[in-house]
Structure 1
């Protein structure tokens, strides 16, 4: 069983909100992991929770982790894309400071292990995670990015140094028939630019994985396998797994959902307009396994523990 606690904080002159999901079990001896969930454009944390069928809640059930669904500013995150024109960007809302406050406040009040903080983002939330892991990678033990790709250098405002100052494992999930964020990169469709007030050009999903692998110091060629195919056929998706691996380096994994849309794989099907949802695996379960969210080994302090 879990409980949901609405929370409010003031950051940079704005009232900001998020919802914390906690299990009723005890935290481990070193404290709980913290999973931060960043929603897509025109959503809130609560809407995204319904959109995904609440599957991320399962990460909190045992008490080993807490899950925080953060709310963007007027439906969006101030990610690092130069050309965005929604209020979070034009008003220069400090979502990095908001994220920092959520982490440090929960560490003080809810027994969070600052060595085990993870960021998960979908669409605009995935872009926010890309900003965070480039700008403040030392705050995180790992990340997952769904239906979002890396902006090209001239469109990206955050530092993109290679190698990363704090490499981490990253899981990417993207559908080949995403109607909003093209799998092959490039520009956004005209209707997406008008409705969501976004612009600029992006790398492809495989190019994003290669970029993040290079940041982790991985130079080996990736390994491609079929992942829990679930059967191919008309009206079905199937998934291909690309692993960037090198001994002593945090891995980067791209799951390509063939015929998948702008969706989060799992038990809850997204609206038809967004394309097909892969339902033969759960994103929450997969990221828990890949990022080792329930690990308890001592890997040294996370510098976020020193923030004030």
Structure 2
């Protein structure tokens, strides 16, 4: 059984909001920060994903925090973005830090077990956190958001040293908003979501994080299960002894969607039903084991 609490935090004079989902309290709980996509809120993303991340609280003892962006957006690190959070120079890194600090103090969260899950613009925000405040996270899952190319990435200067953590990437090959193959954002993204610039492909993004984790071994790929709803899943693992793993789930035939039970609009493409993203997050990021490595 879980409970959900609406709360707010003042960050540099700006009131920020979030929903916190938790089960019975136990010491040293993991914390899952959930960052929604453009034009969503935390509550909207919770509905969009069929509430599946709540299971991380019910089944794995995590505290799950659905954060709300500024006017439906996050101030991510894409140089050419022109949405409200960027134009207002909202301190979303500070917001994430405050949420972690407050929930560590009030909800028995272990600060060494904080992970972030982001979709689309929220996934881009997780890219920013991994590069700007790498000490904050013990793992990350990024859905439908590839790494900006160097010329489009607002890298911190000076850049902090990389902290190797497990990373999960999930991306559909038929994504009409953030192309699986990388390159410049398509016209619909530039017009509707006010983003521009160029990005790496999903496989290149996986290799980027593998290098950050010190993995030099070649990746291994395997097909998962049978086709479902016009999609099938290919899992590519970058692994090396003593290094946190990087996993890419390629959703062949999938769109700009989050695999799982959510009812997502048809115009953004097909949604794979299995495996559920929340289940892969729990497995790959080690939420049930008290460790951030597999």
TM-score higher than 0.5 here?
yes
Change (3 A) 1:280 1:74: same
Alignment partner of 1:40 is 2:34: no
Distance across 2 between alignment mates of 1:68 and 1:115? 16
Change (3 A) 1:99 1:87: same
Distance across 2 between alignment mates of 1:79 and 1:209? 19
Query: Out of 238, 241, 245, which is 1:244 matched to?
Result: 238
SS of the residue corresponding to residue 283 of structure 2 reads: helix
Alignment partner of 1:108 is 2:102: no
Structure 1 residue 37, shift from structure 2 partner: 0.1
Change (3 A) 1:196 1:112: same
Query: Out of 203, 207, 210, which is 1:210 matched to?
Result: 207
Unmatched segments (≥5 aa) in structure 2: none
Query: Out of 49, 52, 64, which is 1:55 matched to?
Result: 52
TM-score, normalising length: structure 2: 0.96
Alignment partner of 1:271 is 2:265: yes
CA deviations 1:177-221 (Å, max 9, x no partner) are 001000000111112201110000000000000001001111111
**1:1-308 alignment, distance < 5 Å:** 1-23=1-23, 25-27=24-26, 29=27, 31-62=28-59, 64-159=61-156, 165-227=162-224, 229-231=225-227, 236-296=230-290
Q: How many pairs are equivalent?
A: 293
CA deviations 1:137-158 (Å, max 9, x no partner) are 1111100000000000011012
Contact 1:263/1:276, CA 8 A, preserved across alignment = yes
Mean Cα displacement is larger for which, 156-165 or 248-257? 156-165
CA deviations 1:203-248 (Å, max 9, x no partner) are 0000000001001111111111112x3237xx51001011111111
Distance across 1 between alignment mates of 2:248 and 2:156? 22
SS of the residue corresponding to residue 243 of structure 2 reads: coil
Contact 1:163/1:214, CA 8 A, preserved across alignment = no
SS of the residue corresponding to residue 40 of structure 2 reads: coil
Distance across 2 between alignment mates of 1:262 and 1:81? 18
Structure 1 residue 296, shift from structure 2 partner: 2.6
Mean Cα displacement is larger for which, 65-74 or 154-163? 154-163
SS of the residue corresponding to residue 126 of structure 1 reads: helix
Change (3 A) 1:159 1:263: same
Structure 1 residue 161, shift from structure 2 partner: 9.3
Contact 1:230/1:280, CA 8 A, preserved across alignment = no
Mean Cα displacement is larger for which, 148-157 or 61-70? 61-70
Structure 1 residue 63, shift from structure 2 partner: 6.7
Contact 1:269/1:279, CA 8 A, preserved across alignment = no
Query: RMSD of the alignment, in Å?
Result: 1.8
Change (3 A) 1:266 1:63: closer
Structure 1 segments, 4+ long, off by >4 Å, are 160-164
